[in-house]
Amino acid sequence: MGKEDPDEGSAKIVGANVEMSYFEQNQADALDLDKTVIQIIQGASEGQSYNELRALLGQFLFKGDDVEKKVEYLSGGEKARLSLCCMMLRSANLLILDEPTNHLGKILTVKVYVKCDKVVAPGR
């Protein structure tokens, strides 16, 4: 994604209307620690309603009062989930994931990949 020079060869994204989204290993470090979960997701929103955002947060296990937690009090896994949740709001059709599940448990990791599959390939 332009951050590292390859040792050899090259790679490029080829295709019409490709919208890429990249999830770095340290993606969660970019979150504003002073904001709440709901404030972060609203800032990443592209016009989704409050109820749609709450439903999406629920799919990433942020339910009830969890959405009012400040980011600084979230665990590494919760921050990773919040970052992935924000990523799901983008209109990308190509997701590049650099070890997105480092801080997630095994069961949640499966849920994340299932969610990505449903967003990218609905109806499969």
CATH topology of domain 20-120: Rossmann fold (3.40.50)
Angular region, 80: left φ>0, alpha ψ -120 to 50, beta rest:
alpha
Closest CA to 101 of 119, 121, 114, 84: 84
Residue 104 has pLDDT above 60, yes or no: no
Contacts of 3 (CB under 8 A, 6+ apart): none
State the pTM of this model: 0.70
What percent of the chain has a predicted confidence (pLDDT) above 90? 28
pLDDT in tens, 25-81: 777 778 999 999 999 999 999 888 999 999 999 988 899 999 999 999 998 888 888
The full DSSP string for 24-49 is -TTGGGGS-TTSBHHHHHHHH-SS--
119 vs 112: CA distance, rounded Å? 11
35 vs 70: CA distance, rounded Å? 6
Lowest mean pLDDT among 9-18, 61-70, 104-113: 104-113
Closest CA to 109 of 75, 73, 61, 70: 61
Q: Any bridge partners for residue 21, and if so which?
A: 95
